Amino acid sequence: MVVFSGDLDKAIASFIIANGAASSGKKVTMFFTFWGLNIIRKDEKVPVNKNFIGKMFGAMMPRGSRKLTLSNMNMMGMGSKMIRSVMKNNNVSSLEELIQMAVDQGVEIVACQMSMDLMGITREELIDGVGIGGVGYYLGQADQSSHNLFI
């Protein structure tokens, strides 16, 4: 599964699919690229040396899953809050719980090396348990799997 988008709603959908597949015994690899990297950034600012572009991207993009916005009807963050609140009221796991669940179930979480280089994101800024790989790695995993989604 390629997670290209950094929208809250698509992130939730991708982790629900990944967790569902993993819990039925499938091997799942999630490859986070471009805006998708923001989903697996740590919440806090990590002190790392960056060049100017890296600093700009770092500052402008949402830092971690709690800062993501919706692809639709975001309304300055109100939509995100509303989705999170209805998920809670309906006893659906939050995105952070879904991520933790994926890690616990052995879903492989891989950050795209090229995207990290382009956006100036370092290993230290990503949540624990994340691997790093290139498009070749992703294609190798896709080759061994029966399904492949671009989200």
Of 66 and 128, which CB lies nearer to a second copy in the complex structure?
66
Residues lying near a second copy in the complex (CB under 8 A) are found at 2, 4-6, 9-10, 13, 16-17, 20-21, 24, 33-35, 53, 56, 60-61, 71-73, 82-83, 85-87, 89-90, 92, 114, 117-120, 135-136, 138-139, 142-143, 146-151
Of 34 and 96, which CB lies nearer to a second copy in the complex structure?
34
Of 43 and 59, which CB lies nearer to a second copy in the complex structure?
59
Q: Are 141 and 29 in contact (CB under 8 A)?
A: yes
Residue 10 φ/ψ, nearest 5 degrees: -70, -35
**What's the closest the beta carbon of residue 64 comes to a second copy, in angstroms?**
16
Say which amino acid occupies 127: I
Q: Please, where are the H alpha helices in the chain? A: 8-23, 52-60, 78-89, 95-104, 113-119, 135-143
| DSSP result, 33-49 | -GGGGGGGB-SS-----
**What's the closest the beta carbon of residue 117 comes to a second copy, in angstroms?**
5
